[in-house]
Amino acid sequence: MRSLPLARTGARGGQVPTGIDSERKGYTRQWSPCMTMQAEKSRRAALIEIAKVALLVPSLALADDDVKRGSQRGVFITEQDFPYLKGRYPPRRLDLGSAPQQSKDKLVFNAFGECVNDSCQYVPIKQRYDGYKKYKASINLCSDLLRTLHDTLGNPMSDEDKKKSEKLLRRAVLFADALLISENYGTSNEALVSRFYVNEAYYASLQLAEASKKGDAARSKEMWELWRDSWNSYLIIINRAIVPKVGEKFELIKDI
């Protein structure tokens, strides 16, 4: 009877034959030098491939302090947005029409990571409908507040409006989570990008309040426009998840 090769170690240190019986007894596998060399070659090959992909992806690392955005400003509604978790910044104004097209033979990266034209995950209609029903009024109130603040640019922003904007933006994060996150998949890139734009809108609201109290008309206008661009970008993202069975899409704030 031909003996089996010795390639495993028993609990007491002795060598035992490989095979079904040894697997059942729970012996630990002992790597041979040949197997170790093969594993090292595989590891090096994987690192080379990772490096190749890294060179193909545009460098969008977090910039210096003067250009930090989203949660990286240090002022935010929610810290865990796209720059915080992905190390890249979405554009100031989101334009899905100019997003790069996916290709079968290469990865295409944009604000959503690898997901461009289609949703990264499916969120049940009922979940989206319930979220829409709960937060629709808050989203409309935030848009109305933004329009009103434009009409009163040059006047100090009231403390009441400042508190109201923060409250509505916090609800905007919850609404996006209801529309864009499935419990079966976890937080999507779309949700992270939506949080980035809410954080930008929040920063702009604080800066607008400060500038308006100082009577700085130019800064007030600049921050109102940042708020509008961020809010419109947020609306573009959530509108993608709003189908007729969920409700009506939200109207963007027009350039004024």
Same domain, 93 and 150: yes
**What pTM, to 2 d.p., does this model score?**
0.70
Same domain, 72 and 139: yes
Q: How many CB atoms neighbour CB 5 within 10 A?
A: 11
Q: Is residue 122 part of a domain?
A: yes
Q: Is residue 256 part of a domain?
A: no
Structure-model confidence comparison of residues 136 and 95, the more confident one: 136
**Count of domains for the chain:** 2
Structure-model confidence comparison of residues 133 and 10, the more confident one: 133
Tell whether the model's pLDDT for residue 94 goes beyond 60.
yes
Q: pLDDT by residue (tens digit) across 146-199?
A: 999 999 998 999 999 999 999 999 999 999 999 999 888 878 888 999 999 999
Q: What percent of the chain has pLDDT over 70?
A: 64
Same domain, 185 and 203: yes
Q: Is residue 186 helix, strand or coil?
A: strand
**Sheet strand arrangement including 15-17:** 15-17, 6-9, 28-29
Q: Is residue 205 helix, strand or coil?
A: helix
Contact of 65 with 44, CB cutoff 8 Å: no
Give the single-character DSSP code of 28: E
Residue ranges making up the domain that contains 133: 65-240
Euclidean distance between CA atoms 151 and 153, whole angstroms: 6
Tell whether the model's pLDDT for residue 95 goes beyond 60.
yes
Q: pLDDT by residue (tens digit) across 6-28?
A: 433 343 444 444 343 333 344 33
